Amino acid sequence: MSLAASGDGQPGNAAGADPSAAPAGQAVGWPVLAVTFLVIVATSLANLTRPAVRASFPAGFGAAELVVAAYLLVHALSLMVGGRLGDSQGCKRVLVTGVAVFTAAALACAAAPSITVLVVAGVIEGLGGG
């Protein structure tokens, strides 16, 4: 690490940078932890509601499993893209957009009239959670 050009003795501070500001990537913050908790709860609920999905829709075991698998697959694939978007577009903007997409898709899952709509809404929810 190099010393700042301003000579304040703090490693990594650039000239004119606010020394009280946390360097990028060090402070996660409560909003990110809360959203992470929300995604974990949604994943657990998706697994727990498989019997209810089978009872509510005329769907077999495979269709009920597809709801959970589609959500988890898309969520896992979108994590890297979400991180890259956070780097290029700003973490706050990406976080707020992701929470909005996740919430809207969760409401669509709750109001889904068919198993097909539930799977599609779960995929969109996975995108928002990433």
How does pLDDT run across 64-76, given as a tens digit for each residue? Answer: 889 889 988 998 8
% the chain with pLDDT above 90 = 23
CA gap 11, 56 in Å, rounded: 59
Q: What is the pLDDT of residue 107?
A: 94
Name the burial class of residue 126, with classes exposed (0-12), middle (13-18) and buried (19+) by CB atoms within 10 angstroms of its CB: buried
pLDDT at 78 exceeding the cut of 70: yes
Among 11-15, 103-107, 123-127, which is the least confidently predicted range? 11-15
Task: Show the beta-strand stretches assigned E in the chain.
Answer: none
DSSP code for 21: S
Full-prediction pTM beyond 0.85? no
Q: Which residues contact 38 (CB under 8 A, 6 or more apart)?
A: 99, 102
Contact 87, 76 (CB under 8 A): no
pLDDT number for residue 16 = 53
Please enumerate in sequence order all residues whose Cβ is within 8 A of that of 61, keeping only pairs 6 or more positions apart, or say none: 54
Q: What residues does 11 pair with on adjacent strands?
A: 3
Give 111-120 pLDDT, tens digit per residue: 999 999 999 9
